[in-house]
Chains A and B, each alone.
Chain A
């Protein structure tokens, strides 16, 4: 049974329909990647899974339960975490405060959770009193990831975690995401850098105009001529 199963999901904003029936599956501990052109509905899909965009039809199952239309709080409590594409940190809060807000809904001591993130991102420990607004793009992305990990999720939803980063920092962030995934956390990630992302993906989906276009293992998609011509620039 898969960790996340999205079946025929329809969603949008008000009367506008953006997703016209999308299917996605992520097994426990897998790294799945969604690629597709601008405006394809990738962010909308992630938001609908996380309950911040209301669904108009179809089903979302998470950990075996039907979670269609569940609130973010409930999903977080069940082990889902989400890093939005934009505005994914609190710039006027310090690093430690950002992480603490990540664990806002969890009871119990904070220190072990903080220590776990600092073990993964030693740089954040050194900067824990720094305001996130003063940090570089790559460092902010680290804070955003660490903040989401504070609830010990089983599945991490990432929306374009490398947007606007230099190639060097991008590779670094991909490194972190692999490390998180290798620690057993399932990842569902939207990425613009399709080739790089599919290289590290167990499973890939191509979304266009609110519909599934291609799906398969990362290697399959990279090898697919039609797919490469249409979405990877030949």
Chain B
């Protein structure tokens, strides 16, 4: 039971957060062909937007999620116009470095607006719910998982049911053929940023609900996010969901005291687990765990 309550459930929660962030990385890579190193800081920004929305409107963090998604998506679209689009025809490394610059700028922006100290949403502590006498779940964990599932369903409907969503998959599949079909890359990339940044805002908010707000919170997550995206096969958003869950669970379960009193891997080295999985994947199956059927 301790395994489920203290390791499995937090692992799933962390996995949902990683998944939402990694989906954005994968979408952006698929359509625009570069690793977006500012993605973690976009998450941070989204979490802080929620902080302000909660303070201004007096609503709960989850109720402020749509506002945070909209503001963060708008910010990402502006960043793309200013810092990425001018380099679209340059070598990839140029855009990658631009995204590093954006990461630093975003973090400074957060520190200027909201300060550098740790903060948290004023939610009041709610007692965990006990199910079947032994299963202890915090309400915030239930909320995070449900909200993450809802967002993934929305993304799925967009990608498989709308003309624009299908075009996004087409561009990421065969950019040349997409061009021959007259698919407009500017429109597709706009919606890629809206979804990528919107989901990152949600991931940032969930992470802040689960822990606390800090200007470095998103940057620190960049490694597991990339690990998750690579595990799922970068450019494949559905793979990123699975990748996120696997990395989240692996990180939490790795500190389970399986053989002795002591954790399998000391909790300080959690990120090392993500890194190890990423390196193994890159060596063994750089195309990711899944082949072919990634779009359901």
Which of B115-123, B199-207, B287-295 faces chain A? B287-295
Measured in the bound complex, the distance between the Cα atoms of B170 and A131 in whole Å is 12
Q: Are B166 and A100 in contact (CB under 8 A)?
A: yes
Residues of chain A from 81 to 109 with CB closer than 8 A to chain B in the complex: 82, 84, 87-93, 97, 100-102, 104-105
Which of B32-40, B171-179, B264-272 faces chain A? B171-179
Q: Are B295 and A101 in contact (CB under 8 A)?
A: no
Question: Is B56 located at the chain interface by the 8 A CB criterion?
Answer: no
What residue of chain B has the Cβ atom nearest to residue A76's Cβ? Answer: B182
Question: Is A134 located at the chain interface by the 8 A CB criterion?
Answer: yes
Measured in the bound complex, the distance between the Cα atoms of B183 and A87 in whole Å is 16
Question: Is A79 located at the chain interface by the 8 A CB criterion?
Answer: no
Question: Is B1 located at the chain interface by the 8 A CB criterion?
Answer: no
Residues of chain B from 149 to 205 with CB closer than 8 A to chain A in the complex: 163, 166-167, 169-170, 173-174, 176-183
Interchain Cβ contacts under 8 Å between A and B, 24 examples: A52-B179, A72-B179, A72-B182, A73-B182, A84-B176, A84-B180, A87-B174, A88-B177, A90-B169, A90-B173, A90-B177, A91-B174, A92-B294, A92-B295, A93-B173, A93-B295, A101-B167, A101-B183, A102-B181, A104-B167, A104-B181, A104-B182, A131-B292, A133-B292
Measured in the bound complex, the distance between the Cα atoms of B188 and A171 in whole Å is 39
CB-CB contacts of B256-296 with A at 8 A, as 1s and 0s? 00000000000000000000000000000000000011110
Q: Are B170 and A101 in contact (CB under 8 A)?
A: yes
**B-side interface size class:** 10 to 19
Residues of B within 8 A of A90 (CB): 169-170, 173-174, 177-178
In the assembled complex, how far is the CB of residue A134 from the closest CB belonging to chain B, in whole angstroms? 7
Residues of B within 8 A of A93 (CB): 166, 169-170, 173, 295
**A-side interface size class:** 20 to 34
Q: Which 4 A-B pairs have the closest CB atoms?
A: A105-B182, A73-B182, A90-B173, A101-B170
Measured in the bound complex, the distance between the Cα atoms of B174 and A88 in whole Å is 8
Residues of A within 8 A of B163 (CB): 100, 104
What residue of chain B has the Cβ atom nearest to residue A98's Cβ? Answer: B170
In the assembled complex, how far is the CB of residue A216 from the closest CB belonging to chain B, in whole angstroms? 31
Residues of A within 8 A of B167 (CB): 101, 104
What residue of chain B has the Cβ atom nearest to residue A77's Cβ? Answer: B182
Residues of B within 8 A of A97 (CB): 166, 169-170
Q: Are B177 and A91 in contact (CB under 8 A)?
A: no
In the assembled complex, how far is the CB of residue B274 from the closest CB belonging to chain A, in whole angstroms? 27
Residues of B within 8 A of A76 (CB): 182
Measured in the bound complex, the distance between the Cα atoms of B173 and A181 in whole Å is 30
Chain B CB within 10 Å, residue with most, of A87, A89, A101: A101
Measured in the bound complex, the distance between the Cα atoms of B183 and A72 in whole Å is 11
Known: A131-B293, A131-B295. A92 touches B169 (CB 8 A): yes
